[in-house]
Amino acid sequence: MSQQKQPLAAWHAMGLADVLSRLNASERGLSEDEARLRLSKYGPNRLPQKPPTALWQIVLRQFASPLIYILALAAIVSVAIGDVKDAAFIAGVLVLNAVIGAWQEWKAEKSSHALRKLLQIRASVHRDEEVREICAEDVVPGDVIWLESGNRAPADLRLLSAHGFEADESLLTGESMPVPKDPTWPATETTPVADRQNMAYAGSIVTRGRAKGLVIATGAATSVGQLALDVMGEGGGKPPLLVRMERFTRVIAIAVLAAAVTIGVLGVTLGGYSISEMFMFTIAMAVSAIPEGLPVAMTVALAIATSRMARRGLIVRRLTAVEGLGSCTLIATDKTGTLTCNELTVREVQLPDGGVFQVTGEGFAPLGEVLFQEKPIEPGKHAPLQWLTRAGILCNEADLHHRHEEWVWRGDAVDVAFLSFAHKSGWTQELALDLHPQVNQIPFEPEHQFAASYHTSEGGVSVFVKGGPERVLGMCTESSSTDFDRVELEECATRMAARGYRVLALADGDLNEPMTPEGLPPAPANLRFLGFVGMIDPLRTGVKDAVRDCNAAGVAVSMITGDHQVTALAIARNLGLASDESQVMTGAELQGKSPEELGEIVGRIRVFARVAPRQKLQIVEAARRAGQFVAVTGDGVNDAPALRVANIGVAMGKSGTDVAREAAELVISDDNFATIVAGIEEGRVAYDNIRKVIYLLISTGAAELVLMALAITTGMPYLPLLPVQILWLNLVTNGIQDVALAFEPNEGGVLKRKPRSPGERIFDQLMIERTLVAAIVIGGIGFLTFRWFLPDGASDAEVASARNALLLLMVLFENIHIGNCRSETKSALLLSPLRSPILLAGTITAFLIHLAAMHTPLGQMLLGAEPIPLRNWGVLFLLAFTIFPVMELHKWSWNMRHRNPA
């Protein structure tokens, strides 16, 4: 389709028959064949997107940096004073830096586009007389779409039917309040978008109710698509972690420039060096100490962690969430679908007369039977059971079909479980609806705690209800087989919940007045209680171990659920979260608590049951005020506020709603809690690697400052290293190693450490100490080595030879010191070089590049390098190796002082 603005038809003002006629559609939807034809005609239902950044733009962007400006100025000055060799090398370094940076950004751009494909929303569409779930990009004009709370409308829709339906259209209209919708509402062509009650627009979020709509526009032809064409040029902001790191780099740069200028001034005033010589030297020294490779290496570290997380089922929507998840101290998690499988199975049915029925089979596939006293019952022979089954299948919004020799389903887990149970009892949804066509309904919403469906019957209209035991029993005045004793029935439901069942109550009743399909009916009353259904949702594989791993990692886990407290406690016992009722708190008990009381409660209670959406938000806010770094899991529209206010929001990828995924930084593709633990591990590894890169760059840069400062303050007549040699060390040999260090794998034991404080500085006491030690050792030994290789009254050739030996020594220092940087606490002797092949290859490559420079005319011309006699190799290697025992000694000292495992 064309990505150009086009006039939009006034679909809202047309009669429904005219809309259907113009689209050549019907309220029963399209066939798959017709949908394919329309997809080829209209194109994918995809909003216009900003085209990927061109490669040439990415390359030019690499030169937009203050550091690059300094280097370019140095090259111009070099040409002006006749030093073409230095200018040529600086130009070569600039080109190499642009190539490396552009390659990394190009990879990130490609990864970003690949990630968009993973995060595509789904749509429930009526095709070939069935409701099925498809990718929203495959929706075409004429499709019939089903929407419910938490969905995002995949296209512009003319509503066909609605029940309590409201939509948040703020992204299109700016109106913050949800808009009630009415398919029968009359409109005129001049009615503004915000007032069109018979329409639902692409991108709007369903906040309440259910609806069915006809797709009238897709992709760029939608209202939001036309708006997107106007704003495609707007750019996005940088992730907070990158902003903090760039600020850190600027602070370091200012400090280094100040030190370099000071040393330069001293060199001119005390050392007798020329102004031009010290100018080039000052620039080279500043470049050597500034960790300009840090942003690239940090982005690489986070990108690597992103890839590792994706392989383990965690999709990263915001890059900084990689590191953020690794620092969380509390996970507030849902129960259903996250800790459990969310494939409910009806296990037990209890009728009011005390009759208990067992149900066999696992999962949603209706493979099993209904037993009474351990014997299969004959379908249709037990009237009270049939009444209960009928209520469960009519008050139901799911689908369960046998297609292509397998069972497929769509809808809420509770509804699908009821359909599976009904099949085992001899009922089908089609049969029930043929006997009792639906007239109206009250969809399930968390604040209602029940759902009701109205159907025609022999006596007029009957209502069928299912929901929480307390809520449904409160609507009943009689039961199907015995006297109605609410207290005794509530005790029965409690006993079922104590055995780990999710308990729902069912009821029915007859209306004494006619029912119309328009409007939302009032809550039912004076119902007949039909019985309880006990469902089981087994724990996900690995969840129990994951909770244990969280505890070992110092990350507390709190379960927040709308289930009954007894059911929640049964699950919590299996997980090791709680052992008795004193460790469970209900939403009713939380009401009226002050923020201070909530903070104390969140610190000690690990199971919250019968919690309303607003209370989940309050729990998360209280935990944050108490100093916790909180990760929240959620899947519904009601979870979105908590996901947004959390430090890290984690949405469910399979069962989650579109609005939950929009609010979250991370998406779990398999809905498994154990995946979050894997993300914590990868996040900690990413942060560790960022610190390792920072330490490598800062310590080697500081060592070069020490080397030069010693030469100038002691009155040495010669600079130990030329500017071009410092640039070589910093941007070539060390530049290869710092990126390779970002690939360092998990060094082990990261989940046995306590989480770091959210306010912890990157450049902390450990890094300060270790940087000073490394700088003094490398810079000091380098200075003494240069003095040793430099005879009194040295000729220019002898000075060049001494510099060549010092340059090789600094390269060897970097090659050995990279091993010290692989762990802050573990001995390098415990980390095999083979466990990190990329780092090993990078170190060898950096060394071989310098070796080639020593033996090739180009390297000799640019760097003043030359082959070194074999007898000096051993001496230089032994001198470079001194950094290893010194840093090992500091690690031992630090571990002894802070009692960390060596």
| CA–CA dist 333, 243 (Å, integer) | 30
Please tell me whether residue 586 adopts helix, strand or coil conformation.
strand
Instruction: Indicate the helix (H) or strand (E) that contains 388.
Output: helix 383-394
- CA geometry: angle at 74 spanning 295 and 726, to 5°? 65
Long-range contact list for 787-792, CB < 8 A, 24+ apart? Answer: 787/716, 790/718
Q: Under 8 Å CB-to-CB from 824, ≥6 apart: which residues?
A: 688, 691, 692, 695, 766, 770, 891
Residues 6 or more apart whose Cβ sits within 8 Å of residue 13: 187, 188, 189, 191
The one-letter amino acid at 484: F
What distances in angstroms separate CA 173 from CA 184, 227, 407, 526, one per listed residue? Answer: 22, 11, 42, 43
Strands 406-410 and 399-403: antiparallel
Do 126 and 29 touch, CB atoms closer than 8 A?
A: yes
Cα distances (angstroms) measured from residue 134 to each of 112, 129, 137, 201, 803: 23, 15, 8, 19, 68
Dist CA 78 CA 86 (whole Å): 6
Tell me the backbone φ, ψ of residue 237, rounded to 5 degrees: -85, 170
DSSP string, 211-276: EEEEEEE-GGGSHHHHHHHHHTTPPPPPPHHHHHHHHHHHHHHHHHHHHHHHHHHHHHHTS---HH
Give the separation between CA 807 and CA 732, rounded to whole angstroms: 13
Residue 414 CB-half CA count within 13 A: 21
Tokens standing for 343?
A: 């494939």
SS3 325: helix
**Does the CA dihedral 571-574-579-580 come out positive or negative?**
positive
CA distance to 67, 80, 323, 730, per residue, from 85 (Å): 20, 12, 43, 18
> What is the residue whose two structure tokens read 């969905």?
151
Phi, psi dihedrals of residue 583, rounded to the nearest 5°? -100, 10
Active site residue ranges? 334
Q: Which H or E run includes 804? A: helix 796-820
Burial of residue 798 (number of CB atoms within 10 Å: 0-12, 13-18, 19+): middle
Residue 763 phi, psi (nearest 5)? -90, 80
Q: With CA atoms as reference, report the closest residue to 202 among 476, 453, 344, 8.
A: 8
> How far is the C-alpha of 238 from the C-alpha of 226, rounded, in Å?
26
